[in-house]
Structure 1
Amino acid sequence: MIRRLFIVVSIIFIFGLFGCVKSNNNEENVSGEPKITNDSKQVDDFEVTINVEKDLNVYATITYIGEAAEKDIYHGGSIFFFNIYQQDGDFEYFGAMTQPLITTTLIQNEPHIVKFEGIEKLKLKTGTYEFEAIANFSLDSDDVLETKFEIPVSKITKPITFFITE
């Protein structure tokens, strides 16, 4: 019992740390070419997508495309970390998770949708933004680190004005 509690607390801590990490990569896109983004990516038996709509509706999906009828995955709070990077300014938002390890059952070929909640509270201004969703989950609750998946997808919006909040 104590071993299982220690494992769960460790998993919560690990997932929480990954959600709070800020990259110190100071590379700039000086070529003038837009950064290439993948709004959909397949890794093994999972396909992950991000969708950004003009009405502040941002959501990600994960679809299990393997052979079994369903697949259990294990994750902290949400399957996705949502991050935002302003391309023509200095705004950055990094998602975090502090909830315990939970289980989600994915049905074969049926997208599981996770909405970016609370985006309207960020008071984004007119600009160009990169929205990123990182699927962060494991396939085994007893061996989270060895069966961990991290699948990032992102989408850069063209200059948009629907974020005006003033």
Structure 2
Amino acid sequence: MIKNSLYFFICICLLVFGLFGCGTSNNSEGNLSKEPKNTDESKQVDDFNVTIYVKNREKIIHVYATITYTGEEAEKDIYHGGSIFYFNVYQLDGDFEYFGAMDQPLLKTTLIQNVPHRVQFGEITNMNVKPGTYEFEAIADFSLDSDDVVGTKIEIPVSRVEEIE
């Protein structure tokens, strides 16, 4: 049963990666309104709090997100692809877009009650981002049961708008 669930999850991840990929895009399904899609920098859903951070200092941009388990148990296992988060970047005053994707098999992370688990977005330094206004989005995408990945899936999007000089 676990082997079949793992195989199913890998197939779903490959399908998602193949359909959505990553990189810059000028397609018509992007953020056409040039308005932020989601402006919650922090969001609580059930027993999980997700927050995105953008540190823009001296032309170096650091983007990371945290997920904090706030439930009653001492710890909680969650199941996810290569990372707990998808990171996306949208230029609100231009045409730059970056869409993250998962490309690894099912992983397990144990979250400790009320201790933020930090995930760094490592791609921003390699993107050659031009000056402008950007929306940085992190989407926590995980499940609570490895045997029922689809049925226990939780998705929590957060974002922050930042001016890049």
Counterpart CA distance in 1 for 2:7 and 2:156 is 23
Question: Counterpart amino acid of 1:104?
Answer: T
Give 1 or 2: higher strand fraction.
2
1:75-111 per-residue CA deviation (whole Å, 9 max, x = no partner) reads: 0110000000000100100001111101000000000
Counterpart CA distance in 1 for 2:128 and 2:95 is 14
Q: Is the 8 A contact 2:44 2:50 kept in 1?
A: yes
1:28-62 per-residue CA deviation (whole Å, 9 max, x = no partner) reads: 25xxx876600000000000000000031100000
Shift of residue 18, structure 1, vs aligned partner = 4.1
Shift of residue 70, structure 1, vs aligned partner = 0.3
Question: Once superposed, what is the RMSD of the aligned Cα atoms?
Answer: 2.1
Q: Is the 8 A contact 2:13 2:104 kept in 1?
A: no
Single out whichever of 42-51 and 9-18 deviates more from structure 2.
9-18
Shift of residue 117, structure 1, vs aligned partner = 1.1
Q: Is the 8 A contact 2:48 2:67 kept in 1?
A: yes
Percent identity over the alignment is 61
Cα distance, 1:56–1:23 mapped onto 2, change above 3 Å: same
Q: Is the 8 A contact 2:38 2:157 kept in 1?
A: no
In structure 2, the partner of 1:43 is 45
In structure 2, the partner of 1:149 is 154
Q: Is the 8 A contact 2:38 2:158 kept in 1?
A: no
Counterpart CA distance in 1 for 2:9 and 2:94 is 35
Counterpart CA distance in 1 for 2:36 and 2:82 is 33
Equivalent residue in structure 1 for 2:11, among 10, 13, 26: 13
Counterpart CA distance in 2 for 1:81 and 1:116 is 9
In structure 1, the partner of 2:66 is 61
Q: How many equivalent pairs are there?
A: 155
Counterpart CA distance in 2 for 1:78 and 1:100 is 10
Q: Is the 8 A contact 1:16 1:96 kept in 2?
A: no
Normalised by the size of structure 1, how large is the TM-score? 0.85
Unaligned runs of 5+ in 1: 162-166
Question: Counterpart amino acid of 2:75?
Answer: E
Counterpart CA distance in 2 for 1:94 and 1:40 is 20
